[in-house]
Amino acid sequence: MSRSLRVAFAGTPEFAAGHLNALLGSRHEVVLVLTQPDRPSGRGRQLTPSPVKSLALEHDLPLHQPERLKSEAERAPLIEANIDLLVVVAYGLILPRAVLDIPKLGAVNVHASLLPRWRGAAPIQRAIEARDERSGVTLMAMDEGLDTGDMLLVRETPLDEHTTAAALHDRLAELGCELLVEGLDRLADGNLVATPQPSEGVTYAAKISKAEAELDFSLPAEVLAARVRAFNPVPVAWTRLGEERLRIWEAVAEPRTATDSATAPGTLLAGPTDAMRIACGHGVLRVRIAQLPGGKPMPIEQLMHNRRHLHGAGMRLGSTS
């Protein structure tokens, strides 16, 4: 008969909630859920539970929401749960050795990258921004380092010039759920082998700042198109269009034509009246979906039809205007 593990789950955002839901459908028993304390959210700044907390409440699972896990009192629920394994998915807290030593079989983490590439906070966005040809998820045995533990299982998925962070997030969430359940089944059955991460190819995925989302048109169009995809849906790439902020949700890179070649970066280029083509340091950024303040994201043809006074060939966008 297949063995069932007693599991505590630690996670916070929607990505983590999907993995908790997958565990609830597996043969393993979730006996405790850890998640970040409720945080202010929305215009009213009301305290809002995390997606993981909401799911745990739906299933009447025991909850623990410590600010940290440094004291014995904060760790007590984990000790009392008598767990075989701690599963960590986008929890948001660094776990000290004293926590990792509590479960009989240690702790595992689902990380949204092909380790050792993109250790850290924003692996999905950084993989797209760097124009990687592939991404994936890694089930890792946790140690005290930043995503440095031994690898247990890996799943890959290809990336292309159309992949946004939103699309990759959903794809990796699906792969991660499959990977997690398979990993726990094999761990329970004693046939899961750990492999140390390679010492070469290590990169770090720094947290995305809002300042990064303002496009600098002196950069090549290919770089900017990748940033547009990487920052969709958060924080969303943007530029200045006159006195307004234009958020760019979808754009592609194109080569410059002979007539475009001498135009300064940030300049709107001549072309079809329903197209927005912006000169870059190298190449042209063609905007496909954009949003003006107070409006919704819409195809650029529709936006330009509604706001013709805001644009025209030769107009400058961005901080250079």
Domain with CATH 3.10.25.10 in the chain: 221-316
In this structure, whether the domain defined by 221-316 belongs to CATH 1.10.3720.10 is answered with: no
β-pairing verdict for 276-279 and 284-291: antiparallel
114 is in an annotated binding site: yes
What would the mean pLDDT of 312-320 be, rounded to a whole number? 74
Domain with CATH 3.40.50.170 in the chain: 6-205
The values of phi and psi at residue 205, to 5°, are: -100, 95
Tokens at residue 144, please?
């005290």
What would the mean pLDDT of 30-54 be, rounded to a whole number? 93
What would the mean pLDDT of 271-287 be, rounded to a whole number? 87
Could you read off the pLDDT of 128-154 as tens digits, one per residue? 999 999 999 999 999 999 999 999 999
192 is in an annotated binding site: no
pLDDT of residue 306: 75
CATH of domain 6-205: 3.40.50.170
196 is in an annotated binding site: no
CA–CA distance from 289 to each of 133, 134, 267, 292, 302 (Å)? 24, 25, 18, 11, 9
In degrees to the nearest 10, what's the CA dihedral of 64, 70, 76, 81?
60
Q: 33 or 244: which carries more pLDDT confidence?
A: 33
Q: Which residues is 46 bridged to in the sheet?
A: 41
50 is in an annotated binding site: no
Least confident of 79-83, 86-90, 181-185, 312-316: 312-316
Could you read off the pLDDT of 187-211 as tens digits, one per residue? 999 999 999 999 999 999 999 998 9
